[in-house]
Amino acid sequence: FKNEQATREVIDAEGWLHTGDLGEIDARGLLRIKGRKKEVLKTSGGKMIAPLPIEERLKASPIISQVCLVGDNRKYISALITLTEDTLTTLQTRGEALSEESIRDPEMVSIVKRHVDELNHSLASYEQIKKFTILTREFSIADGEMTPTLKMKRNVVESRFKHLIDRMYSEGGH
């Protein structure tokens, strides 16, 4: 409002308003929002991936609570995955210690891997999740990883869990 420079940055010469959203026109001619431009991951091979739709599909699993895809300037896509409170409670009652940052319980890793593999079958090879780490806690507002409206702060999550992300790219991972 009354800022010519800011107006020129979002409205181009043809009158198009650039919101920063990514979308596509479907077969019926309707616009479908796929994510935010600033949240696009670009692999080291130059492939552009909108993480939000992939994250949302993986979160449809009854045991998965949150997902943060990573892979910007990296060879492939990996994921930080959090489990639902019920699933974490079940692990604790089974005697699984959740004192570490990541869950390595072979049974749980196998279950999550099945969900990841199922999703991967419907994705292009460059979009597929090659490795993942299961965290022992959810992302939170208190730790600055989520906004008050429960949107993930990707840069904060990536910074906070950088050592786990680096480990997925340096060693085997799941």
Quote the CA–CA distance of 126 and 47 in Å, as a whole number.
7
pLDDT number for residue 83:
95
pLDDT number for residue 93:
82
pLDDT number for residue 90:
86
pLDDT string in tens for the chain (174-residue length): 888 888 877 788 888 877 766 677 888 988 877 655 567 888 888 898 989 899 999 999 999 999 999 999 999 999 999 999 999 888 888 766 676 788 888 899 999 999 999 999 999 999 999 999 999 999 999 999 998 888 899 889 999 999 999 999 997 555
Q: Are 80 and 161 in contact (CB under 8 A)?
A: yes
State the CB neighbour count (10 A cutoff) for residue 131.
19
In the block, residue with structure tokens 């072979």: 106
Q: In this structure, what token pair is assigned to residue 100?
A: 């570490």
Q: Please tell me whether residue 21 adopts helix, strand or coil conformation.
A: strand
pLDDT number for residue 55:
95
pLDDT number for residue 4:
84
In the block, residue with structure tokens 């869990």: 161
Quote the CA–CA distance of 90 and 40 in Å, as a whole number.
35
Q: Are 48 and 37 in contact (CB under 8 A)?
A: no
pLDDT number for residue 159:
94
